[in-house]
């Protein structure tokens, strides 16, 4: 109860601080009180977050949130991710990051005489998010949540439900915090924009905002691509971006922030596009709130695998109110100050860097509009057509492709232009060599198999931008090493596009079946199914197996290891499959396990306890499974275990009760089969396999085998159905991301030393 009171107190401190800041009106004493109240709420948020994390690490399952999102089996680093695996924890993570940023931003805003409005807006955001946590509290007790189920006060489960096995990945620890850090940084340019509108300081705010927007774009971009890498490595569908609505929601503010960076550069250089920059600062932050609404309101619960599905109407309403409040603040602040904004006229002559950079920003914003429409389509169709539907991935690909080409070309051409008009002849002479080099490269690739016309056009734009940016980066590196940031980031975009075209357009996939010990040659690669190994054996809530596939190419062997997991999290109703990947510099070999079966030479049939089946070889024989005999179930040598099935066999006027034994290995595959002979019928019966139910042995199924007594027995062989894909140049995507982030960091250093 005390932790709930503390959380309520933190909310009241933040609320009071927000009111005092907005009523400050230059009153030093009032502002001082507001400042310390807000700082105290920051400390409280960080403290209450630490308290929740401590209880997670010490397995205090009295709290419903901890019981729902952690378990005794999780290693310490995944217990850290349990902190933000659920809705309440993700809000608390966001608040914690905002609080840390708030300490630094408060000093900066005070120094620049922006504190009253800036910190008032900052406090307003924190207050509304805190209100969500006061209502949907991470410190609700399990007996409060499940009081209708008769849970006694003070009851604490001995174990938690745990994480979805898909989330049990190191990227779960890294990806969400980086994404939320990017969201948190994007708050600052919005606040600076609104404050400068209030103060009618339409020029200097952009200098304060520039390092924040650079930092937020770098961090958010890194978070997005780490999520893409996680999906590629874990989900098994072979890609890193599926245009999922929730994925897109994080992409939207990043795209507008990139456009914002380019228009900031124009304003700092020419004093133009002031209103545009205000709009982009406001829209980018609103898209952050929109992303939070889409992900956490439950509105996309049946349209996205990433969305929270049951957040409650209160959370939905508050998130919607949060979005509306800041939309109204942004719209009113801009509209009421439009007349006071004096901006230089944009140079619209075609051969000017000013116009070319503006066009690049426009193309990026058009991409944002396309992504926004596709992302919002389930909501739009539900409102207007009352039949929720989603757009296909082809919608994004077909419309965005020409925009990407225009973005790449406009970027490359802009580097050859000055801020004043350049003559067309000079421009053509400057771009002639990179254009010819790009054409030659595309022609060479055409003869090496990259012969699809549409992708050749894309590759021309990619190589044109790549050659130009690398050339400028090398030249600039000699003169001014800190001046290469933009060139590195643009080079990264080109490298990513090479990876997208190579792994998307020119990827090859082959489906095939392979038996244990068998070798198959597919598309020049030799695959051998070596063995199956049970992993994570110390975790009782799952059975997880690794299939080792030997891959041989040009005489060199390596192993690729797809996995399959049956987990209590989904009651073992469906397997969780992870792909196997072998990475080379110019390609990945990517194997997805489609199914794992047993190739049986005998007839088999499932039977449940206390159920009766007919023998498929002689239907006059009835077999009833009475119970299981666990008396011999000690582990034998080679990790094998003996298990018995007590059966009743009825035929003619006879009734037999006996136990049929099987010896299973660690992977639950029947290798040592013992046959029970029904002499009168010349039929053998065997207990082949045991399908354990995770919570009730009585509900476990058995697999019985049948054969004629005089027939030879051929041991079963496991057979896999695989999809093997070769993805050319996929590594360029990850290299490109690193280049983009490095470019942002260099640009930040340049801005710092420039001061």
**Could you tell me the CATH number of the domain that includes residue 622?**
2.60.98
- Tokens 């190589």 — which residue? 463
User: Does some domain include residue 753?
Assistant: no
**291 shares a domain with 154:** no
**182 shares a domain with 232:** yes
**144 shares a domain with 175:** no
| pLDDT recorded at residue 453 | 84
| pLDDT recorded at residue 753 | 65
**524 shares a domain with 573:** yes
Question: DSSP code of 688?
Answer: E
Closest CA to 567 of 164, 76, 230, 231: 164
Task: Provide the terminal-to-terminal Cα distance of the chain, rounded to the nearest Å.
Answer: 50
**327 shares a domain with 191:** yes
The model's pLDDT over 504-527, given as tens digits with 9 standing for 90+, comes to: 888 989 999 998 889 999 888 999
**112 shares a domain with 28:** yes
- Conformational region of residue 112, where left means phi above 0, alpha means psi within -120 to 50, and beta covers everything else: alpha
**Domain limits for position 579:** 509-599+721-728
The model's pLDDT over 386-440, given as tens digits with 9 standing for 90+, comes to: 677 778 888 888 899 999 999 999 999 999 988 777 777 888 888 999 999 999 9
Please count the CA atoms within 13 angstroms of the CA of 269 that sit on its side-chain side: 17
* The pair of three-digit structure tokens given for residue 253, joined into one six-digit string: 């503010």
Q: How far apart are CA 291 and CA 293, in angstroms?
A: 5
Radius of gyration of the chain (CA): 31
User: Does some domain include residue 483?
Assistant: no
Tell me the backbone φ, ψ of residue 583, rounded to 5 degrees. -105, 125
The residues, ordered by sequence, that sit 6+ positions from 137 with a Cβ below 8 Å of its Cβ are 4, 7, 88
Instruction: Give yes or no for a contact between 648 and 626, defined as CB atoms under 8 angstroms apart.
Output: yes
Last-in-domain residue among 133, 163, 193: 163
**281 shares a domain with 199:** yes
The residues, ordered by sequence, that sit 6+ positions from 265 with a Cβ below 8 Å of its Cβ are 357
Split into its structural domains, the chain has a count of 4
- Residue segments in the chain with a per-residue pLDDT below the cut of 50: 305-307, 637, 667, 694-695
- Tokens 């169709």 — which residue? 381
**576 shares a domain with 644:** no
Mean pLDDT in the chain?
87
The residues, ordered by sequence, that sit 6+ positions from 477 with a Cβ below 8 Å of its Cβ are 484
> Do the bridges between strand 717-728 and strand 701-708 make them parallel or antiparallel, or are there none, so unpaired?
unpaired
- Conformational region of residue 464, where left means phi above 0, alpha means psi within -120 to 50, and beta covers everything else: alpha
**102 shares a domain with 175:** no
User: Does some domain include residue 555?
Assistant: yes
Question: DSSP code of 235?
Answer: T
User: Does some domain include residue 24?
Assistant: yes
User: Does some domain include residue 377?
Assistant: no
> Do the bridges between strand 563-567 and strand 576-578 make them parallel or antiparallel, or are there none, so unpaired?
antiparallel
* The pair of three-digit structure tokens given for residue 297, joined into one six-digit string: 């309101």
User: Does some domain include residue 99?
Assistant: yes
**708 shares a domain with 683:** yes
Instruction: Give yes or no for a contact between 328 and 340, defined as CB atoms under 8 angstroms apart.
Output: no
- Conformational region of residue 697, where left means phi above 0, alpha means psi within -120 to 50, and beta covers everything else: alpha
**267 shares a domain with 201:** yes
User: Does some domain include residue 382?
Assistant: no
Closest CA to 318 of 624, 535, 87, 154: 87
DSSP secondary structure string for all residues of 104-118: HHHHHHHHTT-HHHH
Helix (H, G, I), strand (E, B) or coil at 7: helix
**323 shares a domain with 205:** yes
User: Does some domain include residue 14?
Assistant: yes
């Amino acid at each position: 109860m005390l932790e709930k009171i503390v959380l309520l107190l933190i909310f009241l401190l933040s609320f009071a601080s927000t009111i005092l800041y907005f009523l400050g009106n230059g009153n030093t004493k009032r502002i001082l009180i507001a400042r310390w109240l807000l700082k105290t709420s920051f400390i409280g948020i960080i403290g209450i977050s630490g308290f929740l994390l401590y209880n997670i690490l010490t397995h205090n399952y009295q709290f419903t949130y901890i019981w729902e999102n952690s378990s005794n089996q999780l290693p310490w680093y995944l217990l850290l991710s349990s902190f933000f695996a659920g809705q309440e924890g993700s809000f608390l993570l966001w608040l914690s990051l905002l609080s840390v940023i708030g300490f630094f931003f408060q000093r900066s805003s005070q120094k620049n005489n922006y504190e009253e409005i800036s910190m008032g807006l900052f406090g307003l955001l924190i207050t509304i998010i805190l209100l969500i946590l006061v209502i949907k509290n991470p410190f609700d007790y399990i007996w409060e949540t499940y009081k209708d189920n008769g849970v006694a006060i003070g009851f604490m489960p001995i174990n938690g439900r745990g994480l979805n096995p898909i989330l049990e990945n190191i990227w779960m620890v890294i990806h969400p915090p980086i994404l939320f850090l990017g969201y948190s940084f994007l708050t600052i340019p919005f606040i600076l924009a609104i404050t400068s509108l209030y103060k009618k300081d339409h020029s200097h705010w952009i200098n304060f905002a520039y390092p924040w927007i650079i930092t937020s774009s770098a961090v958010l971009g890194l978070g997005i691509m780490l999520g893409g890498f996680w999906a590629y490595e874990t989900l098994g569908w072979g890609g890193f971006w599926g245009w999922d609505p929730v994925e897109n929601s994080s992409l939207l503010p990043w795209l507008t922030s990139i456009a914002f960076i380019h228009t900031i550069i124009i304003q700092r250089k020419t004093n133009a596009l002031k209103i545009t920059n205000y709009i982009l600062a406001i829209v980018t932050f609103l898209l952050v709130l929109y992303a939070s609404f889409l992900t956490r309101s439950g509105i996309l619960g049946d349209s996205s695998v990433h969305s929270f599905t049951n957040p409650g109407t209160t959370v939905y309403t508050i998130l919607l109110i949060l979005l509306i409040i800041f939309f109204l603040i942004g719209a009113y602040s801009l509209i009421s100050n439009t007349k006071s904004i004096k901006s230089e006229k944009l140079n619209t002559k075609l051969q000017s860097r000013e116009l070319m950079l503006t066009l690049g920003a426009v193309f990026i914003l058009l991409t944002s509009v396309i992504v926004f429409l596709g992302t919002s389509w389930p909501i739009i169709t539900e409102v207007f057509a009352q039949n929720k539907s989603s757009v296909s991935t082809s919608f994004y690909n077909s419309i965005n492709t020409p925009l990407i080409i225009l973005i790449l070309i406009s970027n490359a051409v802009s580097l050859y232009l000055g801020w004043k008009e350049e003559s067309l002849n000079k421009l053509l002479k400057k771009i002639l060599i990179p254009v010819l080099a790009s054409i030659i490269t595309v022609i060479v690739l055409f003869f090496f198999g990259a012969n699809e016309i549409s992708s050749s056009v894309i590759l021309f734009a990619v190589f044109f931008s790549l050659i130009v940016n690398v050339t400028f980066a090398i030249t600039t590196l000699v003169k001014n090493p800190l001046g290469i940031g933009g060139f590195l980031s643009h080079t990264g975009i080109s490298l990513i596009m090479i990876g997208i075209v190579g792994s998307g357009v020119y990827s090859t996939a082959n489906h095939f079946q392979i038996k244990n010990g068998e070798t198959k040659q597919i598309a020049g690669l030799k695959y051998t199914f070596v063995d199956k190994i049970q992993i994570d054996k110390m975790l009782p809530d799952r059975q997880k197996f690794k299939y080792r596939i030997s891959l041989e190419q040009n005489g060199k062997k390596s192993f690729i290891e797809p996995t399959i997991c049956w987990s209590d999290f989904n009651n073992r109703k469906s397997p969780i499959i992870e792909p196997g990947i072998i990475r080379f510099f110019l390609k990945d070999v990517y194997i997805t396990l489609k199914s794992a079966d047993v190739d049986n030479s005998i007839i088999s049939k499932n039977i449940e306890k206390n159920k009766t089946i007919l023998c498929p070889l002689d239907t006059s024989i009835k077999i009833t499974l009475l119970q299981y005999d666990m008396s011999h179930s000690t582990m034998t040598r080679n990790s094998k275990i003996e298990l018995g099935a007590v059966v009743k066999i009825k035929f003619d006027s006879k009734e037999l009760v006996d136990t049929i034994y099987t010896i299973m290995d660690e992977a639950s595959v029947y290798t040592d089969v013992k046959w029970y002979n029904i002499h009168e019928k010349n039929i053998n019966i065997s207990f082949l396999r045991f399908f354990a139910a995770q919570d009730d042995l009585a509900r476990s199924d058995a697999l019985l085998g049948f054969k004629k007594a005089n027939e030879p027995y051929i041991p079963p062989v496991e057979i896999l159905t695989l999809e093997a894909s070769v993805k050319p140049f996929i590594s360029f995507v990850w290299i490109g991301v690193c280049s983009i982030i490095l470019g942002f960091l260099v640009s930040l250093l340049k801005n710092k030393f420039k001061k």
